[in-house]
């Protein structure tokens, strides 16, 4: 049977997602947000979700839609403060005690996801030692320096954005679009890529930025994330 990981709708791309899932969302700065799939997740209705995303409040991401809808129980991120004078929907819920927040240094965040994809359960890092971020964490001393033990992060679902895909699931990213996407794909049980174009023919090997072995489904839309 020929391999073809392309699906015809966002709903099909998210088939099987359950309540209580941990969901990784790519995106950094202004690039790499799988906004069509994020909106589809809201429409799917899965609740009690844990979101793993670089920012909980980025204005170019539709993450706020599933936060506002009450589907999110917990957020693991590196930035939780909104950019405006008014509190973001996430900040309002967090202040009211209706949503849980775990904030990590960005390098620790990235390494925790990479470790999850590599099968490494935890690692020691000096980042955050002596701050509120490391409160309650195990500490050990190596070479005269203190390190905190950070557990790896894995997920049930990863939603990432790329520019091109082929039917095998191979992906090609546009500049900073990749950001956390590749490592999130390795750390999730189900990885779904939203792309502008999904070709039938294989992407040339030298243009493949993430091999299709890490991608389970591909959803193409010209308007995605624009």
Which stretches of the chain score pLDDT less than 50? Answer: 223-226
The whole-number pLDDT of residue 222 equals 67
pLDDT in tens, 129-183: 999 989 999 999 999 999 999 999 999 999 999 999 999 999 999 999 999 999 9
The whole-number pLDDT of residue 224 equals 40
Cα separation of 78 and 74, whole Å?
13
Strand partners, 72: 49
Kindly list the structural domains of the chain, giving each domain's residue range(s) and its CATH number in brackets, ordered by start. 6-220 (3.40.1080.10)
Q: Is 62 within 8 Å of 71 (Cβ atoms)?
A: no
The whole-number pLDDT of residue 217 equals 98
The whole-number pLDDT of residue 162 equals 97
The whole-number pLDDT of residue 223 equals 42
Distances (CA, A) of 185 to 117, 182, 218: 8, 5, 12
Pairing of strands 139-142, 100-103: unpaired
Distances (CA, A) of 208 to 74, 90, 121, 178, 199: 34, 36, 28, 12, 13
**Which helix (H) or strand (E) element contains residue 74?**
strand 72-77
Q: Is 153 within 8 Å of 187 (Cβ atoms)?
A: yes
The whole-number pLDDT of residue 225 equals 38
What are the residues whose beta carbons fall under 8 Å from the beta carbon of 79, sequence distance 6 or more? 54, 55, 56, 57, 58, 103
DSSP string, 160-218: EEEEEEETT--EE--GGG-TTHHHHHHTEEEEEEEEEEEESSPPPGGG-SB-GGG-SEE
């Amino acid at each position: 049977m020929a391999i073809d990981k392309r699906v015809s709708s966002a709903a099909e791309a998210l088939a099987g997602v359950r309540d209580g899932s941990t969901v990784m969302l790519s995106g950094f700065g202004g690039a790499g947000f799988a906004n069509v799939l994020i909106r589809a997740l809201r429409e799917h209705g899965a609740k009690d979700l844990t979101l793993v995303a670089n920012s909980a409040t980025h204005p170019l991401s539709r993450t706020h839609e599933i936060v506002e809808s009450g589907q999110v129980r917990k957020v693991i991120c590196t930035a939780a403060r909104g950019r405006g004078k008014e509190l973001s929907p996430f900040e309002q819920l967090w202040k009211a005690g209706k949503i849980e927040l775990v904030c990590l240094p960005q390098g620790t965040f990235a390494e925790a996801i990479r470790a999850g994809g590599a099968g490494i359960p935890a690692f020691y890092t000096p980042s955050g030692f002596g701050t509120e971020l490391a409160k309650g964490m195990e500490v050990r001393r190596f070479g005269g320096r203190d390190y905190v033990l950070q557990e790896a992060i894995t997920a049930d679902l990863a939603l990432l954005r790329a520019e091109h895909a082929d039917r095998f699931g191979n992906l090609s990213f546009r500049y900073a679009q990749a950001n956390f996407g590749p490592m999130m794909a390795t750390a999730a049980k189900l990885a779904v890529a939203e792309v502008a174009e999904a070709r039938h023919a294989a992407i040339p090997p030298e243009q493949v930025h993430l091999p299709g072995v890490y991608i389970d489904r591909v959803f193409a839309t010209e308007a995605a994330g624009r």
